[in-house]
Structure 1
Amino acid sequence: MKYSKYILFVTIAFLVSCKQNTKTQIETPKQVEITLTKLWETDTLLKTCEAVRYDSEKNIIYVSNIGGVPPSEKDGDGSMSIINLEGKIINQNWVTGIDAPKGVSYFKNKLYVTDIDNVAKIDLETGVIEKKYTVENSVFLNDLDIDTNGDVYFTDSRDDKIYKLVNDDISLWLDLKGVNPNGILVENDRILVVSFSVGDFIAIDKKTQERTVIANGIVGGDGIVPVKDGYLVSSWKGEVYFVGSNTSNTKAVKVLDTKDQNLNAADIGIIPNKNILLVPTFFGNKVIAYKINTSYK
């Protein structure tokens, strides 16, 4: 009987050891390589296009156009456009009556857009601006994202803050002095931001607000989109970087550089089911689409 127990113990220990070794092999970091292949570009009619967002329900793409510069000028010449998945401009002036729209996202048939010192709520069916939420003491509202509850988070790049809009009420969510936050991506348990001046790509815990620098060196950081193995982060001057998640890519790796073409890379978007990256080129006045190709080493 004692001998049988010994055999059983050895067998269990062996199985546990095998399971642990298998788990270790599965979690071994892999090297990911991202390349981008150009698919199409729009006409150059999108005046100072800043941000793009794909609407998976309507299968269209929203584009925010600042219009005349500087991008902090209340000149009333901003607009929202709609393009299709082949790059054709369906409605160039879908929404007007805004100054310098930037960050864009939607929730339950409403589109939310930052516009210097306010957030505009737009009905997706009519294109009518239903309400403008003024953000007291704000300086330069920039990127915007929405969580699964419908809570709207947005950055003030020139005043180092993240605000939150919930049930028509705006509150300061976090003061990020010295960070100069631009791009923002809201996840289940954390919020990701990229600094425009410092170039840090930062994760912020939603509950504790503890910060962790994921990567750095993305000076001019503008937009963030999730991809299968991490994130693509744009730099306004005309670059896109890949930052790995659970891979051996611990540093930001440049995957696109259009500076020599005088094309910026502003607040990027993604069509996830097609692995297509959307790049608004700001002064280039057009959106360019790239196929995201992934390989492993």
Structure 2
Amino acid sequence: MKASPFLFLLSITVLVSCKQYKKETASQKPIKTEVVLTKLWESDTLLKTCEAVRYDLKRDVIYVSNMGNVPTDAKDGDGTISVISSEGKTLTQYWVTNMHAPKGANYYNDKLYVADIDAMIKIDMTSGAVEKTIAVENAVFLNDVDIDSNGDVYITDSRDSKIYKLVNDEVSIWLDLEGFNPNGILVEKDRILIVSFSKGDFVAIDKKTKAQTLVATGILKGDGIVPIKQGYLISSWTGEVFFVDKNFPGDAATKILDTQEEKLNAADIGIIPNKNILLIPTFFGNKVVAYKIN
């Protein structure tokens, strides 16, 4: 039977369309984002063993948790909270005093919640007065803090491998992560992200089912987490910062900063989101260093 010219043209059209579809599909594969940090400023060195930073958009200031003298788990009353400007200038060195070893901090409705070994300190952000000290029974080393959109406070205990939840000034264990040594924490809408201090793993935990998903690997001594549009920046206490690309779940994190030769740690990092500025407390370096996120 003689082939129809119409069928011949149709087959050619389909073949060309398939090739074009394959070409377009291949071009749509995600490409890993490159993140570069450019140093902007550093504060003075009056911030004694600075462990955590949090930016307050409303007041355009940065709160810095200072653990004071070592050992860092001593109840010695020399811990403080300082306030510096978004350009790194010290505004109030001793904004809150008589703490022990303040670490992670975050705020909700003008209340700053700070982890202090085995207690949560609730501070009025308008006056700087300690409003309440909330004991966390059996806590060993409370570390990082993040707060849900409804005001629920989540706290990691990096030495006892637990995550606590603070609701209406009442504390309960939310999850036991035996052997994980959770440090940095970031609360999202449906999940909670945790980086391990001992294992190098960065995981997501479903709020409802508490099922765990591996997000990234290779971040030993993981400390703080900040979100950016392309994924997450995670600090390693030893003096490194890693980038986790959200389009490549489960991959090894990419190192984008290393200050170990300068003998500067990278503890619980923060971010000025509207300016794309990463804030790094340098722990024994006693200063905060800011980097532009490019």
Fold equivalence (TM over 0.5): yes
Structure 1 distance, partners of 2:28, 2:195, is: 27
Matched-pair contact (CA < 8 Å) for 1:31–1:248:
no
Partner of 2:117: 116
Q: Secondary structure at the match of 1:68?
A: coil
Report percent identity of matched pairs.
Answer: 66
Q: Which has the higher contact order (CA 8 A, sep 6+)?
A: 1
2:231 pairs with 1:230: yes
Amino acid at match of 2:137: E
| Offset of residue 28 of structure 1 | 2.8
Partner of 1:165: 166
Structure 2 distance, partners of 1:244, 1:213, is: 13
Structure 2 distance, partners of 1:57, 1:122, is: 16
**What is the RMSD of the two structures over their aligned residues, measured on CA atoms?**
1.9
Structure 2 distance, partners of 1:232, 1:90, is: 27
For structure 2, which runs of at least 5 residues remain unmatched after alignment? 1-13
Q: Could you state the TM-score of these two structures normalised by the residue count of structure 2?
A: 0.90
Partner of 1:175: 176
Structure 1 distance, partners of 2:81, 2:26, is: 48
| Offset of residue 169 of structure 1 | 1.1
Amino acid at match of 2:84: I
Structure 2 distance, partners of 1:149, 1:47, is: 33
Structure 1 distance, partners of 2:272, 2:199, is: 28
Cα displacement string for residues 162-219 of structure 1 (whole angstroms, at most 9, x for unaligned residues) = 0000011111000000100000000000000100011110110000000011111111
Q: Secondary structure at the match of 1:261?
A: coil
Partner of 1:80: 81
Matched-pair contact (CA < 8 Å) for 1:243–1:249:
no
Q: Could you state the TM-score of these two structures normalised by the residue count of structure 1?
A: 0.89
Amino acid at match of 1:192: L
Structure 1 distance, partners of 2:84, 2:140, is: 30
For structure 1, which runs of at least 5 residues remain unmatched after alignment? 1-13
2:58 pairs with 1:57: yes
Structure 2 distance, partners of 1:31, 1:244, is: 7
Q: Secondary structure at the match of 1:194?
A: strand
| Offset of residue 37 of structure 1 | 0.4
Q: Secondary structure at the match of 2:58?
A: coil
Partner of 2:6: none
Partner of 1:101: 102
Structure 2 distance, partners of 1:249, 1:290, is: 26
Structure 2 distance, partners of 1:97, 1:26, is: 58
Residues 291/140 of structure 1: CA separation in 2 closer, same or farther (3 Å cut): same
Matched-pair contact (CA < 8 Å) for 1:30–1:248:
no
Partner of 1:143: 144
Amino acid at match of 1:280: P
Structure 2 distance, partners of 1:197, 1:98, is: 27
Q: Secondary structure at the match of 1:34?
A: coil
Q: Secondary structure at the match of 1:32?
A: coil
2:135 pairs with 1:134: yes
Residues 209/248 of structure 1: CA separation in 2 closer, same or farther (3 Å cut): closer
Structure 2 distance, partners of 1:164, 1:71, is: 23
Structure 2 distance, partners of 1:140, 1:75, is: 15
Cα displacement string for residues 38-73 of structure 1 (whole angstroms, at most 9, x for unaligned residues) = 000000000000000011111111000000111110
Structure 1 distance, partners of 2:28, 2:100, is: 48
Structure 2 distance, partners of 1:192, 1:211, is: 9
Q: Secondary structure at the match of 2:268?
A: coil
Matched-pair contact (CA < 8 Å) for 1:101–1:116:
yes
Amino acid at match of 2:190: D
Partner of 1:7: none
Matched-pair contact (CA < 8 Å) for 2:78–2:100:
yes
Structure 1 distance, partners of 2:44, 2:28, is: 45
- Greater C-alpha radius of gyration: 2
Amino acid at match of 1:265: A
Partner of 2:67: 66
Amino acid at match of 1:257: D
Amino acid at match of 1:188: K
Q: Secondary structure at the match of 1:154?
A: strand
Q: Secondary structure at the match of 1:237?
A: coil
Structure 2 distance, partners of 1:68, 1:196, is: 22
Alignment map for 1:1-297 (pairs within 5 Å): 28-247=29-248, 250-293=251-294
Q: Secondary structure at the match of 1:33?
A: coil
| Offset of residue 111 of structure 1 | 0.2
| Offset of residue 250 of structure 1 | 2.9
| Offset of residue 265 of structure 1 | 0.1
